């Protein structure tokens, strides 16, 4: 497809909705692309399969700081190849290209997923007035009717000399539009703001700040304050969890910390500590 400004596509009226206005690409670029800033371009397309796939395919020819936003994703992806589908203009679906270069050792690039989570949670908390929390390693949670529900997810992919980070956030999804009952959205969490433009600007500005601090510290999660901030926002810590690990192995215990490599440290019933670097983590009810 040919990329286009979503505001132009919306004029055709196919998805016209006064409650879900289109994003203004020109206004976003004016606000976010500044001299000396991280963001170098902001492109908005009416629809695509996956912003991560599209940006990854073009990454070699783009400078760091390219941002691609879609009003609708038809083949959005989450971790473990899970799909991410939502009605047009009901959320924020975007990817960014980061190139830490030699200033950050590649073994620390794995922190970028957690960094994006901290940035998104803090940006949403400020702009939307909701208490956004993190579930290790890449889920964003909000509280709906007293229950924690997933309202967003993050997917980071290594591409050549950079990393493409995709973020998907449910903004105005109603109960009958949710893909699963456990999902949530900002509007269901009674967010003070559901206008997507200020929310997107807040998340990208927060991401720019956290990325700059992390990069200036050589990717050191402690020195940059990232490790402490992630632990403060992560509701997985202190919970009884089950980790479904690669190879079919299952680990249960109490999530106690996120270590210097971004791994979840779990204390088992045998009082042994194991660091989980990859897997699907489920919050379990506390055993008394």
Q: Which residues pair with 96 in a beta bridge?
A: 67, 165
Q: Please check the confidence at residue 179 and state whether its pLDDT lies above 70.
A: yes
Sign of CA dihedral 126, 128, 131, 133: negative
Tell me: pLDDT of 14 over 60: no
Give the pair of three-digit tokens for residue 30: 């004016």
pTM for the model: 0.90
Cβ neighbours of residue 186 closer than 8 Å, sequence gap 6 or more? 124, 128, 130, 142, 151, 169, 170, 171, 172, 194, 199
Residue 19 and residue 47: Cα distance in Å, rounded? Answer: 19
Q: Which of 170, 176, 164, 184 is nearest to 93 (CA)?
A: 170
Buried b (16+ CB within 10 A) or exposed e, 132-153: bbbbbbbbbbbbbeeebbbbbb
149 falls in which pLDDT band (50, 70, 90)? very high
Q: Is the dihedral of CA 19, 22, 27, 31 positive or negative?
A: positive
Question: Could you give the 3-state DSSP secondary structure of residue 186?
Answer: coil
Hey, what are 42's tokens?
A: 């902001």
- Split at pLDDT 50, 70, 90, the class of 57 is very high
Give tens-digit pLDDT for 131-142. 999 999 999 999
Comparing 76 with 39, the larger pLDDT belongs to: 39
What is the average pLDDT score of the chain?
A: 91
pLDDT band for 9, please (50, 70, 90 cuts). Answer: very low
How far is it, in rounded angstroms, from Cα 78 to Cα 12? Answer: 30
- What pLDDT is attached to residue 76? 56
- Give the lowest-confidence range in 10-14, 48-52, 162-166: 10-14
- Inter-CA distances, 184 with 58, 135, 156, 203, Å: 32, 14, 22, 18
pLDDT of the residue at 111: 98
Per-residue DSSP letter, 183 = B
pLDDT band at 18 (very low <50, low <70, confident <90, very high): low
Answer yes or no: are the C-beta atoms of 159 and 56 closer than 8 Å.
yes
């Amino acid at each position: 497809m040919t990329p286009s400004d979503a505001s132009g596509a919306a004029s055709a009226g196919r998805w016209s909705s006064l409650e879900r206005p289109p994003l203004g690409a020109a206004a976003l670029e004016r606000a976010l692309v500044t001299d000396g800033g991280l963001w170098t371009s902001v492109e908005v397309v009416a629809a695509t399969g996956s912003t991560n796939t599209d940006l990854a395919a073009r990454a070699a020819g783009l400078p760091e700081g390219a941002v691609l936003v879609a009003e609708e994703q038809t083949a959005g992806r989450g971790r473990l190849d899970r799909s991410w589908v939502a009605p047009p203009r009901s959320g924020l679906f975007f990817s960014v290209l980061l190139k830490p270069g030699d200033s950050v050792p590649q073994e620390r690039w794995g922190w970028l997923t957690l960094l994006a989570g901290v940035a998104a949670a803090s940006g949403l908390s400020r702009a939307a007035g909701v208490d956004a929390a993190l579930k290790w390693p890449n889920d964003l949670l909000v509280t709906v009717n007293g229950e924690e529900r997933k309202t967003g997810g993050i997917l980071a992919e290594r591409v050549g000399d950079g990393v493409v980070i995709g973020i998907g956030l449910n903004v105005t999804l109603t109960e009958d539009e949710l893909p699963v009952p456990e999902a949530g959205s900002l509007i269901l969490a009674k967010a003070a703001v559901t206008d997507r433009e200020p929310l997107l600007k807040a998340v990208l500005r927060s991401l720019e700040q956290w990325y700059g601090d992390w990069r200036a510290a050589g990717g050191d999660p402690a020195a940059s304050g990232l490790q402490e901030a992630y632990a403060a926002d992560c509701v997985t810590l202190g919970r009884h969890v089950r980790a479904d690990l690669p190879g079919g192995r299952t680990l249960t215990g109490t999530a106690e910390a996120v270590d210097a490599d971004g791994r979840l440290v779990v204390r088992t019933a045998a009082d042994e500590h194991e660091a989980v670097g990859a897997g699907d983590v489920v919050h379990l009810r506390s055993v008394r």
